[in-house]
Amino acid sequence: MTTGVETPLEVAALDTAGTRHLVDLVFRIREFGIVAALALLVLVTASIQSRFLTQTELKFILQDTAIFALLALGETMVVVSRNVDLSIGSVVGLSAFVSANVFGQVPGVPIPVVFLVGLGIGLVCGAVNGLISAVGRVPSLVVTLATLYIIRGIDILVVGGGQVVASSLPNSFVLIPNESIGGVPYLAIVIAAVVVAGAYYLRSYRSGRELYAIGSNPDAARLGGIPIAKRVFTAFAVSGAIAGVAGVLYASRYGTIDSTAGTGYELQVIAAVVVGGVAIFGGSGTAIGAALGALLLNTIISALYVLGVSPFWDQAISGLLLITAIALDRGISVRLTAALRKRRSRLGA
């Protein structure tokens, strides 16, 4: 390639350095792809129905996305380690009711305390998930499916037939999702910052990278002495805590909370995570991608609403997007492996 004294393997190694850029590009494209899809969606929708680009509409989208993006951060940590947390929807419901109920029980309670209550509830739920699946080595799919029902059951017991209504909540609490600067809700800004911080942690800290390592090759992780149980437990605890906080936000956003609050959120969040480029079998993907996935799914729902399409299509289109994302993921990895393999056999290595 450059000098005349290189041995063949060096040529091969150099050549793989070239493929690195290809590989990097492919992985970056995953996030570019979502942004491109978003841009296209917004453009097309706005050209048909200009109402779509009003501040009110954009604010709605961001308010809706914020909670999902936050939940997607926790779910990303879990999925990246080749696990899944199905219980977050139920945690959101339980936390939403209990924390909102605090206002009725303890008049004048400071809002941060209510957030701590939600966080605590979520942390306990997440710790239970983590304990059973990481320490007890039970597949997390089964564990969190069980806790999905158990926590929902507890929620129903606690709520009974009643519900919390917005009028019983303090104004300052209900207004949290509405406060905005230049049309952008504060909440969205704060959550964006949290997601970026979370993504940075996963990328730049040992324990974060180890979650990727565990998901990438659990056997190698075990042989490499990575504290798998500890890391996975932490991921579940954080995911639970985040779901707890998201529950409080749910209460402030919707005001009315009964025992069905948050039902089905887990699947929407997992859909966002996968659409956002997090590999469902772990090892790769970012929290930012997952947040963008949540934004894309919510924007679609809003676009369909603005265009007057029946909400029936919401779910069908989310599903279609999910399959596209998974097919894309699979296609890319198959192509990539095949490309690298062919390159190798061509070099006679």
Partner 1 sequence: MGDNDVGEQTALLSLQHASKAFGAVQALEDVSLDLYPGEVHGLVGENGAGKSTLVKILAGVHSPEAGRLLVGGRDTVLSGPAAARDAGVAIIYQEPTLFPDLTVAENIFIGRQPLTTGRRIDGREMHRQVSAIFERLGVRLDPGRIARGLSIAEQQIVEIGKALSLDAKVIVMDEPTAALSAVEVARLFRVVETLREHGAAVLFISHRLGEVPQLCQRVTVLRDGKLVLTRPLAGLTTDDLVRAMVGREIQERAAGGRSTGEIVLQVERLTREGVFVDVSFDVRAGEIVALAGLVGAGRSEVATAIFGIDRYDAGSVKLGGRKLRRGSPTAAMAAGIGFVPEDRRQQGLVMEMSIAQNVALASLGRLGRIGFIRGAAEQRFAADWAVRLGLRYGRLTNPASSLSGGNQQKVVLAKWLGRNPALLIVDEPTRGIDVATKVEVHRLLTELAAEGVAVLMISSELPEVLLLADRILVMREGRLVTELAHTEATEERIVAAAAGGVSEEAA
Which positions touch partner 1 (CB under 8 A)?
Answer: 7-14, 16-17, 19-20, 23, 204-206, 209-210, 212-213, 215-217, 219-221, 223-226, 279, 283-284, 333, 336-342, 344-349
| Distance, CA of 282 to CA of 291 (rounded, Å) | 17
Query: Considering only CA atoms, which of 291, 289, 282 is closest in space to residue 231?
Result: 282
Among residues 326 and 336, whose Cβ is nearest to partner 1?
336
Among residues 69 and 80, whose Cβ is nearest to partner 1?
80
Cβ 331 to partner 1 shortest distance, Å? 15
Cβ 281 to partner 1 shortest distance, Å? 10
Cβ 69 to partner 1 shortest distance, Å? 23
- H-assigned helices in the chain: 8-48, 55-80, 88-105, 111-130, 140-159, 171-174, 186-204, 206-216, 218-223, 228-254, 265-275, 287-306, 312-346
| Distance, CA of 298 to CA of 41 (rounded, Å) | 11
| Distance, CA of 296 to CA of 61 (rounded, Å) | 10
Cβ 223 to partner 1 shortest distance, Å? 5
For residue 186, give both structure tokens.
């504060």
For residue 58, give both structure tokens.
């954009």
Among residues 59 and 230, whose Cβ is nearest to partner 1?
230
Distances (CA, A) of 38 to 33, 44, 196, 276, 301: 8, 10, 19, 12, 12
SS3 275: helix
Among residues 7 and 167, whose Cβ is nearest to partner 1?
7
- What single-letter amino acid sits at 3? T
Cβ 94 to partner 1 shortest distance, Å? 34
Cβ 122 to partner 1 shortest distance, Å? 26
| Distance, CA of 278 to CA of 288 (rounded, Å) | 10
Among residues 226 and 300, whose Cβ is nearest to partner 1?
226
Looking at the DSSP bridge assignments, the partners of residue 257 are: 164
Among residues 11 and 166, whose Cβ is nearest to partner 1?
11
Cβ 123 to partner 1 shortest distance, Å? 23
Among residues 12 and 42, whose Cβ is nearest to partner 1?
12
Among residues 120 and 227, whose Cβ is nearest to partner 1?
227
Cβ 63 to partner 1 shortest distance, Å? 33
The CA-CA-CA angle for residues 16, 19, 24, to 5°, reads: 130
